[in-house]
Amino acid sequence: MNTILTNKIEEIRNNVAEWKKQGLKIGLVPTMGALHRGHESLIKKAKELCDKVIVSVFVNPTQFGPSEDYEKYPRTIETDKEVCKNNNVDIVFAPTVNEMYGNTLNNDQDLSNKSLTFVYPPYNLVDKLCGKTRIGHFDGVATVVLKLLNIVQPDFAFFGQKDAQQLIIIEKMVKDLNVPTKIITCPIIREEDGLALSSRNKYLTTEARKKALTISKSLSYIKELYEKGTNESQILFDSSISILDKSIELEYLEFVDMENLEKIDIINKKTLVAIAAKIDNVRLIDNIIIGKNSL
């Protein structure tokens, strides 16, 4: 099958208009590229539910802070296209920054420029977990996702549970702004040893990867302890923290409500256990869900 690669919004619109005329169901899988099996699982789910699938590949400058890895974020569009082709994706949409934002940004990451309309998700969702250190990140995410949803106007859009806070914020945005797209959540795909797949794993040396593995191990340990009857977050936190490699810079390990991200002390409902940590300066996130009806 012929997978089209385009960087033009107009080409997306023309194809989508044609497909809609034919009554076809359209799926969008937004990504930043450097595709791995995690992304592929989203694509496969999209292929299952939709007649036509568009994968966007866009390293979105407005969601990176000035000291983050925007410049060095892996860009592998040729192999990404192959992955998409192998999964029978209809279109890979890989716009330039200019195609997405025109000349509204002074430079790629200058959010002080006031000539762009932004989406600001509710503060109580963005001031927690990753949002505490990644100031403005979720504003950039919400803005680019809404733009992609407006460009493609898909029936379904697919997101990974791996970025749990992002998912909660997007679901809220879609609901609040009446976006007629159904958001589909896909489970976290892991390496055999438990490490959650991430485009940033590419930065890890063999030694750092070993340390990174202790992130998912600590989450599994929490699940195990919880299933054995410990339901106090503090106890679960204290016991699992010793599993993390000593050189890991822990940003947060929190037990929060799945809807409002408020802290949970006693786990008596579905609870998101989310972690962010830096290993040799590579920032990784992971999470699990525990509590009633968490399976």
- Token pair for 42: 């989203």
Least distance in angstroms from the C-beta of 164 to ligand AMP: 8
Residues 79, 160: Cα–Cα separation, whole Å: 21
**Residue with Cβ nearer ligand AMP (190 or 270):** 190
Do the strands 91-93 and 249-257 form a parallel or antiparallel pair, or are they unpaired? unpaired
Least distance in angstroms from the C-beta of 284 to ligand AMP: 11
CA-based R_g, the chain, Å: 19
Least distance in angstroms from the C-beta of 83 to ligand AMP: 12
Least distance in angstroms from the C-beta of 39 to ligand AMP: 5
**Residue with Cβ nearer ligand AMP (33 or 291):** 33
Q: What are the E-state strand segments in the chain? A: 4-6, 26-31, 52-57, 91-93, 156-160, 182-186, 249-257, 271-279, 282-290
* 193 close to 212: Cβ distance less than 8 angstroms: no
* Amino acid letter, residue 176: D
From the list 12, 39, 119, 154, the catalytic residue is 39
Among 238, 28, 73, 256, residue whose Cα is nearest residue 164: 256
Phi first, then psi, for residue 178 (nearest 5°) are: 55, 45
Least distance in angstroms from the C-beta of 90 to ligand AMP: 18
**Residue with Cβ nearer ligand AMP (204 or 236):** 204
- Token pair for 270: 């579905």
Q: What is the DSSP letter of 91?
A: E
**Residue with Cβ nearer ligand AMP (143 or 199):** 199
* Minimal CB distance residue for ligand AMP: 160
Do the strands 271-279 and 91-93 form a parallel or antiparallel pair, or are they unpaired? unpaired
Say whether 36 is catalytic.
no
Contacting residues toward ligand AMP, per CB under 6 A = 31-32, 38-39, 41-42, 159-160, 162-163, 186, 188-189, 196-199
**Residue with Cβ nearer ligand AMP (31 or 271):** 31
Active site residues: 39
